[in-house]
Amino acid sequence: MAIGLDTILATQSATEAASASTVSDKIAEQKNMFLNLLVKQLQYQDPLNPMENTEFTAQLAQFSQLESMAEMNSNIELMAQFQNSMNSMQAASFIGRQVNARGNTINYSSGETGIDFNLEGNASLVTVTVYNSSGTTVRTITMSSVQEGDVTCTWDGMNDSGEAVSPGTYYYSVKASDYSGAAVNASTYAKGTVTGIKFENGTIYLQVGDKEITLADINNISG
């Protein structure tokens, strides 16, 4: 009876979403299992009904396919490591430079902090809402007669009850309307000098003041 590659690779689809190193380890394990089964099959085959050459050749081809898969995944792993190294070098080169990036996260520690956004038109009323990771509103800040363009408002670290909030991660949203009551588009962003980098769950973050931004969120760099 021929050894089916489908049986040996039954768990392959589950490993496709895993890391390259995990996939490579799994394929190496499957290669050993394939070889052991093939040796056993040759050892205990019926002398009166031996394995045909075509069947033997087909199974060797399957074995070669496993080897090719292992080599391919090893190359993918090396490419991923190289890409991570390149990303780290790129991130480190941003330290000390000015960046402007999309985002609405505040990593609050203490004191006052700036909240940045852009208005596409003049606004009669701007409402900035600061909320925690649970989505609960912490502070509502209103501004009147705000000109279009880049705007920075200051949050003093207090909630709407006048109490100091705890250090942690907060978020903010901006709504604006003009003098006729029509909505004015507002976009949030972070700007400032990159002071450090952080690695978390495979993602590189640039530390800009009390904000953390990813490389993909950067709009422009200067300095």
DSSP character at residue 217: G
Give the pLDDT of residue 165: 96
Confirm if 142 and 199 have CB atoms less than 8 A apart.
no
Dihedral of alpha carbons 155, 157, 162, 165, sign: positive
CATH code of 98-222, in short, is 2.60.40.4070
Give the pLDDT of residue 9: 44
Crossing angle of helices 53-93 and 20-43, rounded to 10°: 170
The H or E element that residue 103 is part of is: none
Q: Who contacts 115 (Cβ-Cβ below 8 Å, separation ≥6)?
A: 106, 128, 130, 141, 152, 153, 154, 155, 172
Give the pLDDT of residue 15: 45
Which residue(s) pair with 131 in the sheet?
137, 171
Cβ atoms < 10 Å from Cβ of 103: 20
Residue spans of the domains in the chain: they are: 5-93, 98-222
Q: Which among 127, 58, 99, 125 has a CA at the least distance from the CA of 194?
A: 99
Full pLDDT tens readout for the chain, 223 residues: 444 444 444 444 444 445 555 655 666 676 677 777 777 777 777 776 766 666 666 766 776 776 677 677 766 776 766 565 666 666 777 788 888 888 898 888 889 999 999 999 999 999 999 999 999 999 999 999 999 999 999 999 999 999 999 999 999 999 999 999 999 999 998 888 888 888 777 788 888 877 788 878 888 888 6
Confirm if 165 and 108 have CB atoms less than 8 A apart.
yes
What is the torsion angle, in degrees rounded to the nearest 10, for the CA atoms of residue 17, residue 20, residue 24 and residue 26?
A: -30
Give the pLDDT of residue 129: 97
pLDDT in tens, 105-153: 888 888 999 999 999 999 999 999 999 999 999 999 999 999 999 999 9
Q: Please tell me the pTM assigned to this model.
A: 0.55
